[in-house]
Amino acid sequence: MTLEFYKYQGTGNDFVMVDNRSLFFPKQNTELIEKLCDRRFGIGADGLILLENDTETDFKMVYYNSDGNESSMCGNGGRCLVAFAKQLNVIENATTFIATDGLHHATVAPDGLVSLQMIDVNEIKITPEYVFLNTGSPHHVQIVEDLKNYNIKEQGAAIRYGALYGKAGSNVNFVSQINDDTFAVRTYERGVEDETLACGTGVTAVAIAMHATGVTAATRINTNVEGGKLEVSFEKNGSQYTQVFLKGPAAFVFKGQIEI
């Protein structure tokens, strides 16, 4: 069978996109998904995303990590899927869609920037060494010295596979403050099992964690990731973070076909 696919990237976080509204894709074929994401034997991507029909929203997002397993929410993937839906004429410039963590709203600006509403956050674990919270995916957030030369893969894997998070593990974000409202972030992603050039749920977690711990008072935070820049904004209502938005570029790279 010939598979038609689209490739998108959001600040270097890249995805294979498939229009699966006819439900033709073999979703249980973990080996196939892993191969499609393989950078040497396949298309190459951090993950694969299916766009499917939904009865109550514009579309449904089904996300797989590059290891072939269906995973929790992916923020940059969600933003790229919105751009993909616009390219397919499924939506115009505003949308509501369903993902594994619930309902999402998003808009596409004239300059192509996609703003995606993330889930509310009301549970944050704060310790002297790190912060843990779930922004659609679980995230460990830790400030480190000399982020540029930090061994992200080694240190991230140690935390992800360590006793702290058990078998399920966690994504791990290492952070350095640049100024009051700007932070540099590098992320080790579970499912990819390596550093990625950006992580949307990760920078969202970092922004909220930095606010919750008093490192910053800003409610609109800039994050510099290896693949570019992302903006996170939110409102604080009591102990809850609401109106959480992740904003950044979502670019079409190419369209192709591959035999599967």
Q: Is 80 a catalytic residue?
A: no
Prediction pTM value: 0.96
When pLDDT is averaged across residues 248-255 and rounded to a whole number, the result is 98
**218 and 131 within one domain:** yes
- Residue indicated by tokens 């939904």: 54
Query: Would residue 74 show up in a list of annotated catalytic residues for this protein?
Result: yes
Distance CA 45, CA 39 (A): 7
Q: Given pLDDT bands bounded at 50, 70 and 90, which one contains residue 209? A: very high
The pLDDT tens digits for 118-137 are 999 999 999 999 999 999 99
Q: Please give the average per-residue pLDDT across 152-171, as a whole number.
A: 96
In a domain, 29, yes or no: yes
Domain range spanning residue 53? 2-116+250-259
Instruction: Give the whole-angstrom CA distance, residue 51 versus residue 77.
Output: 11
What is the amino acid identity at position 226? E
Identify whether 210 is part of a domain: yes
Span 86-109, mean pLDDT? 98
Q: What is the mean pLDDT of the chain?
A: 97
The number of folded domains in the chain is 2
CA within 13 Å, CB half, 217: 0
Catalytic one of 85, 199, 205, 250: 199
Query: Token pair of 225, please?
Result: 């990731």
CATH for 27: 3.10.310.10
Binding-site residues for substrate, please?
Answer: 13, 65, 75-76, 171, 189-190, 200-201
Same domain for 154 and 61: no
Q: How far apart are CA 62 and CA 71, in angstroms?
A: 8
Average pLDDT rounded to a whole number, residues 146-164: 97
Helix or strand (DSSP H, E) at 256: strand 251-259
As a whole-number percent, the residues of the chain with pLDDT over 90 amount to 100
**In degrees rounded to 5, what are phi and psi of residue 86?**
-70, -40
Q: Identify the pLDDT of residue 170.
A: 98
Question: Is residue 176 assigned to a domain?
Answer: yes
84 band by pLDDT with thresholds 50, 70 and 90: very high
Using one digit for the tens of pLDDT, what is the confidence trace for 25-77? 999 999 999 999 999 999 999 999 999 999 999 999 999 999 999 999 999 99
Let me know whether 26 and 61 are in one domain: yes
Q: Does some domain include residue 48?
A: yes
Count of Cβ atoms closer than 10 Å to residue 215 Cβ: 16
Kindly give, in sequence order, each residue whose CB lies less than 8 Å from that of residue 198, ignoring residues fewer than 6 positions away: 10, 11, 12, 13, 76, 187, 225, 226, 227, 228, 230
pLDDT at res. 46: 97
Q: Quick check: is 243 in a domain?
A: no
> Average pLDDT of 129-153?
98
244 inside domain: no
The active-site residue out of 16, 18, 50, 74 is 74
